[in-house]
Amino acid sequence: MSRTFSGPARRWRVAVALGATAALGLSGCGLNEGNSSSGDSSGGGDVLRIGTTTDVSNFNPLQSLSKTDSWILNAMYPHLLRIDENAKKAPELAKEYTYEDGGKTAVFKLRDDFTWTDGKPVVAEDVKFSAESIMKYKLGNVAAKLTWVTSIEAPDPTTVKFHLSQPYAPFAEGVGFWMSIVPKHVFESAGDLSKFANDSDWVGAGPFVLESATKGQRYVMKRNEKYPLAPGGRPAVGKVEFRLYPDVNTMMLALRNGDIDLMGTPVPASAAKTFANDSKIKLTKVGALGFAHLTYNMTNKDLAKQEVRQALSMAIDTKSIISSVLQGDAQQMAGPISPIFADYDNTEIQPYPFDPAGAKAKLAAAGYSDGNGDGLFDGLDLGVACDQSNANLTRVVQLFRESAAQAGIKLTNECVERNTFLSRTKEGEYDIDASQWGVFDNPMDQLRSTYLSSNPGGINYNLLTSPEIDQLINDAAATTDPAAFATKIKNIDKVVHEQAYLTPLYVENFQFAYNASKFTGFVASPSDLLGMVTAYSLAQVKPVG
């Protein structure tokens, strides 16, 4: 009878239920209920509590990093250069850099007052070791930026020389900003650095160093007593605690209730008025280093045609998207170079106007017709892929679909769950990719990684293979004269715009909310990746009163 196995069956059910509960518990325990006392025990007001949405997935600073990873690790491991409030490179560990040998050698001069938390000074050998490890194990996105390096020299403790196979204009900027410097004497003994977890006994030289990490809950960092970029040589805040709030609504409530002092993630444009009547909470606005865009898959037979791409660019009303979805808090763009790079942005080109009738005419001229009279061109059915968790882009795709229908173009909304979206992007399984570039620190690296057919950065989402574009980019990359370099970049900006390989949507402003009654002195950098939580900014923060 069926009764005989009800015993084991029940046990199985209990086991599975336990497993499921455990799994749910892991993902759901980040709500931080009732743990507000933990920070207060260690020195009252000088613990800065920052809200974040995701866990640290990787503690090795040489690997590719997610947002929370890079906030925490950038506060621990110095970089040669940083990006300041005006989106310019500023000195951090390096005092300055120069090019020698016709651009084939980049020389960094380091400060001599950075110290690892175990007492040893930060020296040129650490920089050499970090770069050589990245090249040896091909780690993270920095490996692509070191492509041209033939050898590295550290003639004295404050000088590092990178010898390059050919001049590459933004080499020092790119490597200086992106590469984390790790302590050679600690990492050397770890063996294979591509497998090194670095998840305990941290030694850093930034303003703060991790003290404890509780997955799903919090990451506590204590200050480095010797940090030369902090006023007075030491950060004013004793501890920084990152707390996990998987949902932005909860995080905003936590800030209002005083459970956290700063939201690491930006406040959504539509939600900014949450803090309108709160005198303690202040908002700081910064620009972006990336931008949102529609990128067309060139392997699609329709999208391979310039007229179709131009028609699509005319079938989306970016102005109204900016005023509605972003509440006016964004800038329009024309070509692929963001206006934040004022020296390289070609101001002669204009965005495609929103003109559904014009788009229709263009498609008709290209041979498309509407035989069945349904108002849509026959055989033109394109999918727009996006990440369901991105509030702005899901709205953009929804509006794009409506406006494209006016131009006779049938679009299918293919906004899917984040991981599915990422894997589809990687495999090139999309017609139109609606997504957001996070941080481009210079236009040359951007053009190389998005348009070169060799796809060195892995983000040529057009899947473009154009010898012409390759030639233009490689020619610009080897140009060392700044004026000629800028002219060449502006020309590429124009060519890409005419080809309409992408439709730039907007450069968004980010707003960060913090409790101004408790902390002050943040130095905000552009982009949501840097924002208020860069190493430099955290070192400048002081408690109020």
Question: How many angstroms separate the CA atoms of 188 and 182, rounded?
Answer: 10
Q: How many CB atoms lie within 10 A of CB 491?
A: 14
Q: What DSSP assignment string belongs to 113-175?
A: --B-TTSPBP-HHHHHHHHHHHHHHT-TTHHHHTTTEEEEEEEETTEEEEEESS--TTHHHHH
CA torsion, ordered 280, 286, 288, 294, to nearest 10 deg: 60
Return the number of the residue (2 or 279) whose C-beta is nearest other proteins: 2
Return the number of the residue (188 or 417) whose C-beta is nearest other proteins: 417
Q: Are 258 and 47 in contact (CB under 8 A)?
A: no
Side-chain-side CA neighbours of 277 within 13 Å: the count stands at 0
Question: How many angstroms separate the CA atoms of 48 and 539, rounded?
Answer: 11
Minimum distance from residue 77 beta carbon to other proteins (Å): 32
Q: What DSSP assignment string belongs to 489-541?
A: HHHHHHHHHHHTSEEEEEEE-EEEEEETTTEE---PBSSTTTBT-SHHHHHH-
Q: How many CB atoms lie within 10 A of CB 293?
A: 22
For the record, the structure tokens of 142 come out as 């920095």
Minimum distance from residue 38 beta carbon to other proteins (Å): 24
Return the number of the residue (417 or 498) whose C-beta is nearest other proteins: 417
Across 324-476, the runs of DSSP E, i.e. the strands, are 330-331, 381-387, 410-416, 432-436
For the record, the structure tokens of 250 come out as 């909860």
Question: How many angstroms separate the CA atoms of 148 and 141, rounded?
Answer: 14
CA distances from 74 to 229, 339, 346 (A): 14, 26, 33
Return the number of the residue (366 or 399) whose C-beta is nearest other proteins: 399
For the record, the structure tokens of 151 come out as 């050898």
Q: How many CB atoms lie within 10 A of CB 354?
A: 19
Minimum distance from residue 110 beta carbon to other proteins (Å): 42
Minimum distance from residue 120 beta carbon to other proteins (Å): 44
Return the number of the residue (136 or 426) whose C-beta is nearest other proteins: 426
Return the number of the residue (185 or 424) whose C-beta is nearest other proteins: 424
Residue 167 identity (one-letter amino acid): P
Minimum distance from residue 415 beta carbon to other proteins (Å): 4
Return the number of the residue (20 or 544) whose C-beta is nearest other proteins: 20
Return the number of the residue (282 or 395) whose C-beta is nearest other proteins: 395
Question: How many angstroms separate the CA atoms of 269 and 282, rounded?
Answer: 15
Return the number of the residue (347 or 389) whose C-beta is nearest other proteins: 389
Return the number of the residue (23 or 365) whose C-beta is nearest other proteins: 23
Minimum distance from residue 440 beta carbon to other proteins (Å): 25
Question: How many angstroms separate the CA atoms of 282 and 513, rounded?
Answer: 6
Return the number of the residue (115 or 270) whose C-beta is nearest other proteins: 270
Q: Which residues pair with 543 in a beta bridge?
A: 519
Minimum distance from residue 391 beta carbon to other proteins (Å): 4
Strands 262-263 and 47-52: parallel
- Backbone φ, ψ for residue 174 (5° rounding): -65, -55
Minimum distance from residue 1 beta carbon to other proteins (Å): 6
Minimum distance from residue 429 beta carbon to other proteins (Å): 11
Minimum distance from residue 531 beta carbon to other proteins (Å): 16
Question: How many angstroms separate the CA atoms of 401 and 315, rounded?
Answer: 9
Question: How many angstroms separate the CA atoms of 451 and 107, rounded?
Answer: 29
Question: How many angstroms separate the CA atoms of 334 and 313, rounded?
Answer: 10
Minimum distance from residue 318 beta carbon to other proteins (Å): 13
Return the number of the residue (26 or 365) whose C-beta is nearest other proteins: 26
Minimum distance from residue 158 beta carbon to other proteins (Å): 46
Return the number of the residue (304 or 357) whose C-beta is nearest other proteins: 357
Minimum distance from residue 405 beta carbon to other proteins (Å): 10
Q: Which residues are near other proteins by CB under 8 A?
A: 1-3, 9, 12-13, 16-17, 19-20, 23, 247-249, 252-253, 267-268, 270-271, 273-274, 320, 323-325, 327, 388-389, 391, 394-395, 397-399, 401-402, 412-420
SS3 content of the chain, % helix, strand, coil (to 5): 35, 20, 40
Minimum distance from residue 382 beta carbon to other proteins (Å): 14
Return the number of the residue (320 or 480) whose C-beta is nearest other proteins: 320
